[in-house]
């Protein structure tokens, strides 16, 4: 499925999580395989109903949240839906998906798309490159934490976050601002986006020691650069 803009892509991710969460809930309640298959077909039909005349996703065509504009809540709200797969119904709570989303809307959470747009304009870094790095680093999960301790959307290490003035690396705005600031410094240093993202992965020292030769960097970094470049070209 194709979406016609970045916000649409984030909305589609949110919808996918919603369907996944609901599907997991139905499995917990002991439905048969046949019932589960029927349920999944219904959920897919609901998703298909969000397509516009061009076949693009327009999640606002679903009206279960009344007049709420889903494009304003960002992907950060979507990650909370995972908690519902084992939480609300089994614990006797009355919280629903719409309650959770509306809570985020009331707290005015900054959407990822808006945060990236702000950072792009502030530091003069291509928005598409920032999105490509986020995709590779965290798959747009603001709560992501690596085994090494890297945090948030742009996977900032604690020391790096502190140097960049990021107090809460799981805050969408702070993380994207800090990560983009760091990416900008690498772009200025190396003057080449591929070397910059290689340094983002392996560290500036490693890139300098390689003579800025990608082939001399670890295979992990070479793979990282290839994937980010692919995302960058296709955003």
Which residues are known catalytic residues?
137
Q: What is the DSSP string of the chain?
A: ---SSHHHHHHHHHHHHHHHHHHHHHHHTT--HHHHHHHHHHHHHHHHTTB-TTS-B-GGG--TTTT--GGGTHHHHHHGGGGGGTSTTTTT----HHHHHHHHHHTTPPPHHHHHHHHHHHHT--HHHHHHHHHHHHTT-TT-B-TT--BTTTTB-HHHHHHTT-S-TTSHHHHHHHHHHHHHHHHHHHSSHHHHHHHHHH-HHHHHHTTS-GGGS-HHHHHHHHHHHHHHHH-
């Amino acid at each position: 499925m194709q979406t016609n803009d970045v916000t649409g892509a984030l909305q589609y991710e949110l919808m996918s999580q919603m369907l996944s969460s609901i599907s997991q809930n139905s499995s917990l309640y002991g439905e048969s395989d046949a019932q589960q298959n029927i349920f999944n077909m219904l959920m897919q039909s609901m998703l298909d109903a969000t397509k516009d005349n061009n076949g693009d996703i327009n999640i606002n065509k679903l009206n279960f949240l009344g007049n709420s504009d889903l494009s304003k809540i960002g992907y950060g709200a979507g990650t909370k839906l995972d908690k519902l797969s084992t939480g609300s119904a089994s614990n006797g709570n009355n919280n629903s998906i719409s309650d959770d989303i509306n809570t985020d809307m009331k707290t005015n959470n900054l959407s990822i798309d808006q945060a990236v747009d702000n950072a792009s304009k502030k530091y003069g870094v291509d928005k598409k490159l920032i999105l490509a790095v986020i995709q590779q680093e965290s798959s747009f999960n603001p709560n992501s934490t690596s085994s090494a301790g890297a945090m948030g959307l742009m996977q900032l290490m604690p020391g790096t976050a502190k140097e960049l003035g990021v107090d809460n690396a799981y805050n969408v705005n702070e993380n994207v601002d800090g990560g983009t600031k760091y990416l900008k410094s690498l772009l200025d240093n190396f003057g080449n986006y591929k070397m910059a993202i290689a340094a983002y992965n392996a560290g500036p020292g490693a890139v300098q020691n390689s003579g800025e030769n990608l082939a001399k960097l670890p295979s992990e970094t070479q793979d990282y650069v290839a994937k980010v470049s692919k995302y960058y070209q296709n955003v």
